[in-house]
A = this chain, B = another copy of it.
Amino acid sequence: MIYLRASIEGGFWKRCQELIREKTIPYQWMALNDEIPGAPRSHSLENFRIAAGRSSGQYDGMVFQDSDLFKWLEAAGHLLRDEAPGNAVIRRWAEQAIDLIAAAQQPDGYLNTYFIVKDPAHRWKNLREGHELYCAGHLIEAGVAVARSTGNGKILEVTRRFADHIDARFGTTAGKTRGYCGHEEVELALVKLYRLTMEKRYLSLARYFIDERGRAPSYFEEEAKAADFAPLFGIHDLDYYQARVPVRQLAEASGHAVRAMYLSTAMADIALETRDTELAAACDRLWESAAQRRMYVTGGIGASARNEAFGADFDLPNDTAYAETCAAIGLFIFGSRMANLRNDSRYADVMERALFNGIISGLALDGQSYFYVNPLRVRPEACDKNPSRQFVKYRRQPWYGCACCPPNIARILASLGEYVYHLGDGTLYADLFHDGSVSCEMGGRRVSFRQRTDYPWSGEVSFEFAAEDPVELDLAVRIPSWCRGASMKLNGSRFDVARAMEKGYAHIPRQWRRGDTVELTLPMPVQRVRADPRTEADFGKVAVQRGPVVYCLEQADNGPFLHAAVLPAGSRLSSSRRDDLLGGVVTVQGRGRRWDGAARSSGLYQPDGRPPAAAAGDLLFIPYYAWANREPGEMTVWVRE
């Protein structure tokens, strides 16, 4: 896979990245420093200070607390790639963080503050739960991002020393431990490190972790038998860890959703790098299972709060959806690798669904408060009073005891430029529409495109070839699966999209010259989406979507009892640009029916009663990602038809 990064220069994602730069990153630095009043304490930086001998005290936080700082540092690294006024302070913080991380590293390269400070006796002894390799993976991702952006060699040096330490410890050769991590992450990170350094050892180590996983006898079971310590979490089910069978035999996405996606991402990476068709076939199965049978319309995955796990096929309850922000991110990155592997637009279709909905729903419009869980239906009183629903929050949260999501969303949005194009076989695939520029080399020649759009609010997208010299290349523009009737002009003349289509992309192979322009028009009417009828929770209901954006009803606009709202099959839906609302959105409105809660029956259960009389009323839909940015209230994505 060729590393390719566009710069985001305008539009929706530029505003988003500036929010990350100006609000989110500074806020999270304070959170990691325990400086946010009223928020759960992170202790993440303090743990490093203690490990580095610069502070005294006890380790605090989850066993994987280091990863929060690493993800923050990765986000900072991505942001530092562009010139921006806010970068000076971010650079200073990043340097402080790197200095501290380096100081905490042990002489042998080992680096994990939990096992340095709190439990040195069990270093590498609790792979199932200890998260050392998981944290190492996030360190590596941070190191690669910072190195790519700033050329800062110090964090890359720390990273490589730890990677080498791991390489010396794990593997199949005599004297090495044949273990792997309970939480996959190091595998995909090692592939990234390989791609940066072109050091084959890192790819081999990643492949070792993939191939070793799930072999009999189970490493985790043997480890547990030998354990002289109490379990940290106590989850023994091997499916949770995708470790019951060798990963090539996996038939469906199951267990902990983030783990499953990070594993799948690495599997696709290795399939791509090593042309491993068996592994690629397993990736196909995992993708189909996750994205075609176990995904919410928002791109959220992992329906089960218990174990943060996948449920059964079409088992997608809306009000108890877990749909962790990190899991949608995991699906997004898995999709990006599948797009590279298969050059089919179906993957970017899902990436886009996750990105505009179930990922950015995890960040409030203030850039400083979060959702870990992303439900599709909420009734606040039920969340308050039902212990089984208490994991569903309807108010944005300042931080978490387990704060994996906030820095994860920061780093993924900061790195968005890495996901918008991919290269394959002389073809430049335009996967995600955005306003920005991309440059790369193809066959020794410089390629450069400037893309302009107000996507997702508008379906007009233009591509202008911006390199000096002409280049022979195939520009493949994704035609989203939600779109009917896409049209294109090439240098002002109609271009036949239908004839150019292959696996969901409109291919434009030609000798590109400076100033050549493609104008793409994606008609963007409001659509009613139906779920596969096997999806019980959505049966008889529709979701409203416009372009890639999924909508919802909020109580603030539509009153309570949203379960009783009806959007009749024939009613017209229109959209309006509302720059004043929720940071600037397109709303959808339509005539429907609402129930005001009057005319209740006289008892809880009435024989031969009548259904409540709903009255005609206007329904106002807002983008799902923007929910819970006003006063708390009900919310629903799916509406009765």
State the A residues within 8 Å of B (CB): 254, 291-293, 295, 297, 303-307, 309-313, 315, 317, 319-320, 322, 379, 381-382, 384-390, 481-482, 484, 527-536, 539-540, 543, 545, 561, 563-564, 595, 597, 600-601, 603-612, 640-641
Task: Say yes or no: A311 contacts B389, CB within 8 Å.
Answer: yes
Residues of B within 8 A of A607 (CB): 482, 484, 527-529, 545
Provide the residues of chain B in CB contact with A563, threshold 8 Å: 536, 539
| CB–CB B606/A379 < 8 A | no
Give the Cβ gap from A534 to chain B, nearest Cβ, in Å.
Answer: 7
Contact A603 B481 (CB under 8 A): yes
* A380 to chain B: closest residue by CB: B312
Known: A291-B604, A532-B601. 9 other contacts (CB 8 A): A304-B387, A307-B388, A311-B387, A315-B386, A317-B319, A317-B320, A320-B320, A533-B600, A533-B611
Q: CA–CA, A198 to B413, complex, Å? A: 74
Indicate whether A533 sits within 8 Å of B604 (C-beta atoms), given known contacts A312-B384, A320-B388, A385-B315: no
Contacts of A389 in B (CB 8 A): 304, 311, 315
Say yes or no: B640 contacts A540, CB within 8 Å: yes
**CB neighbours of A309 from chain B (8 A):** 386-388
User: Considering the chains assembled together, what is the distance between the CA atoms of A531 and B382 in angstroms?
Assistant: 17
Q: Output the least CB separation between A574 and chain B (Å).
A: 16
Does B388 lie within 8 Å of A530, measured CB to CB? Answer: no
- Chain B CB count within 10 A is highest, among A388, A535, A601, A603, for A388
Assess A312 versus B528: contact at CB under 8 Å? Given A291-B604, A533-B564, A604-B292: no
Top 4 A-B residue pairs of the complex, sorted by shortest distance between their CB atoms: A311-B386, A312-B385, A527-B607, A536-B563
- A382 near B293 with CB under 8 A, answer no
Knowing A539-B564, A540-B540, the reply to whether A595 touches B312 (Cβ < 8 A) is no
Of A304, A481, A543, A607, chain B has the most CB atoms within 10 Å of the CB of A607
For residue A598, which residue of chain B has the nearest CB?
B533
> What is the distance, in angstroms, from A311's C-beta to the closest C-beta of chain B?
3
Could you jot down 18 A-B contacts, CB within 8 Å? A291-B604, A293-B604, A303-B388, A307-B388, A310-B386, A312-B386, A313-B385, A317-B319, A527-B608, A528-B608, A532-B600, A532-B603, A532-B605, A533-B600, A534-B561, A540-B611, A540-B640, A545-B607
Minimum CB distance partner of A482 in chain B: B607
Nearest opposing residue in chain B for A240, CB measure: B387
Cα-based distance from A309 to B382 in the complex (angstroms) = 12
Closest residue of chain B to A636 (Cβ to Cβ) is B536
Query: Please, which residues of chain B bring their CB within 8 A of the CB of A532?
Result: 600-601, 603-606
Q: Are B304 and A605 in contact (CB under 8 A)?
A: no
Q: How far is the CA of A459 from the CA of B187 in the complex (A)?
A: 69
How far is the CB of A170 from the nearest CB of chain B, in Å? 29
CB neighbours of A609 from chain B (8 A): 529-530
Taking CB atoms, residues of chain B closer than 8 Å to A322 are: 388
Residues of chain B lying within 8 A (CB to CB) of residue A382: 311-312, 315
Q: Which residues of B contact A540 (CB under 8 A)?
A: 540, 611, 640
B385 and A533 within 8 A (CB): no
Chain B contacts of A545 at CB under 8 A? 607
Instruction: Say yes or no: B388 contacts A606, CB within 8 Å.
Output: no
| Chain B residue nearest in CB terms to A609 | B530
- Give Cα A45 to B291, complex, Å: 52
* Minimum CB distance partner of A614 in chain B: B533
A529 and B606 in contact, given A382-B315, A561-B534 (Cβ under 8 angstroms): yes
Among B303, B381, B535, contact of A312 (Cβ-Cβ < 8 Å): B381
Tell me the smallest distance from the CB of A485 to a CB of chain B, in Å: 12
- Whether B379 and A536, one on each chain, are in contact in the complex, defined by CB atoms closer than 8 angstroms, is yes
CB of A295 within 8 A of CB of B543, answer no
Q: Write out the residue numbers on chain B whose beta carbons fall within 8 Å of the beta carbon of A295.
A: 604
In this complex, the member of A528, A545, A608 whose beta carbon has the largest number of chain B beta carbons within 10 angstroms is A608
Q: How far is the CA of A382 from the CA of B293 in the complex (A)?
A: 13
User: Which residue of the partner chain B has the closest CB to A481?
Assistant: B603
CB of A293, distance to nearest CB on chain B (Å): 7
Chain B residue contacts of A527, Cβ below 8 A? 607-608
User: Is the CB–CB distance between B388 and A306 below 8 Å?
Assistant: yes
**A504 nearest CB across to chain B (Å):** 12
